[in-house]
Every structure is written in C-alpha cells, then in structure tokens.
Amino acid sequence: MGQVYDWCEERLEIQSISDDILSKYVPAHVNIFYCFGGIVFTSFLVQVASGFALTIYYRPTVVEAFGSVQALIYSLNQGWLVRSIHRWSSAVMVTTLILHIFRVYLTGGFKKPRELIWVSGVLLALATVSFGVTGYSLPWDQVGYWACKIVTALPEAFDDLIPGIGKILVIGLRGGLSVGQLTLTRFYSIHTFVLPVATLVIVLIHFTMLRKQGISGPL
C-alpha cells in the first residue's frame, strides 16, 4: 500500500491537497445550525445511490412503470428498503434545505461578497423541487399521473403574458397535447440524468465559492 500511495503522491500531490483542506479555518461562531447544508448534500448522495439501484428494476413505460414499482416493493429482496430510503431521504433533503435557506438568510449569507453563493443555492433549491416534481410521477399510479397532468398544465398561464408561449411549453413538457408515454420518458430522463448532472455542476460551483468566500457571520 505504501508504494501505491507514493506513486499517487508523486503524481497527484495528495498530501498537499489534504493539508489545504484540513488547514481551512472554521469560525468560532459555527454551530449545529450551520450543518443543514451538509445534511442536504449527504441526503443528495443517498438519493443518487438509492436512485441508481432503483433504475436497475424500474421500467419507464406507462404500461409497466407501476407494476415494476410494485414488484420492487413486494417481490424483490430488500427492494422495499431501497425505495423507502430513496423516498424518506428526499423528505429529509427538502426539510433540511428549507432550514438551510432560513439559516443563510438570517445570518446574511446572501450579502456582499456572497451574492453568487446565494444565487447558486437558489438554483440548487429549484433543482431539488424539480427532482420532487419529476420523481413523484414516475410510479405512474393515479396520484403520479394526475400530478403530472396538473404540473405540465401550469405553463399555460404564460399565455397571458405572451400568447402561444404557454402552449409551446406544455407540448414541450408532455411531448404532445396529452400526458402519455413521451411525458413519462421526459420526466424519467430529466429525473435520472439532466437534474443529477446539473446539480453536481452547481454543487461544485457552490462549494468552490463557499470555500473562497468563507462561511457567513453569526446572527
């Protein structure tokens, strides 16, 4: 193992990276309320791991989606546990995200020079909501179907601002005038590929700026 470490150290300078991370000063006012952001990120990682496991058995078709979820829960060994972890970690993620936003706002984390940290955080919050909206419909049960139908109809309100734009957005989301297979395919792709990739990129930017500017002050 020592030879492997020496080989990596010579090329990657692991020790200097580690020293830089561990030498970062943590302000004295930081307490448990500053941990909400870390809990959100941890919940996201749990979501990624459990979600990947679910994609192995989930079938994104209007005919088989509900049946595949039922089989995963009742027939697959420990399938119910994986789905429960995915479901409840999403609840933890949303709850701690709300608490994190309140903490950042109350401590002035959105003020100069941390405006971009706040903006990236808002984008992450929108991504989290989008995860919930798209994931809620994937089982394609009655609740998921009608939730999808209602959510995809919301952009029609933009017709009051720019005539025709709302209908274009609705068709883009649904893949047609009505909710169907193309809608489920879009939601599945957004939920399992587009949002995770976008979230990881924004998280990297968020953490980089946070490390550069530091944690906001106390109340």
> How big is the chain, counted in residues?
219
Lowest mean pLDDT among 2-6, 104-108, 119-123, 204-208: 2-6
Rounded Cα–Cα distance for residues 123 and 190 (Å) = 16
pLDDT, tens digit (0-9, with 9 covering 90-100), for 13-38: 888 878 777 777 777 888 889 999 99
- The 8 Å CB, 24+ separation contacts for 89-92 are 89/43, 89/46, 89/47, 89/50, 90/43, 90/47, 90/131, 90/132, 90/135, 92/39, 92/43
Residues 6+ apart with CB under 8 A from 117: 109, 110, 206, 209, 210, 213
Nearest to 155 by CA among 134, 133, 170: 170
Look up residue 217 and give its amino acid: G
**pLDDT of 79 over the 90 cut:** yes
The per-residue pLDDT for 148 is 94
Percent of the chain scored above 70 by pLDDT?
A: 100
- CB contact at 8 A, 143 and 170: no
- CB contact at 8 A, 155 and 145: no
**pLDDT of 5 over the 80 cut:** yes
pTM over 0.95: no
pLDDT, tens digit (0-9, with 9 covering 90-100), for 108-163: 889 888 999 999 999 999 999 999 999 999 999 999 999 999 999 999 998 888 88
Here the tokens at position 10 are 């010579």
pLDDT, tens digit (0-9, with 9 covering 90-100), for 148-198: 999 999 999 988 888 889 999 999 999 988 999 999 999 999 999 999 999
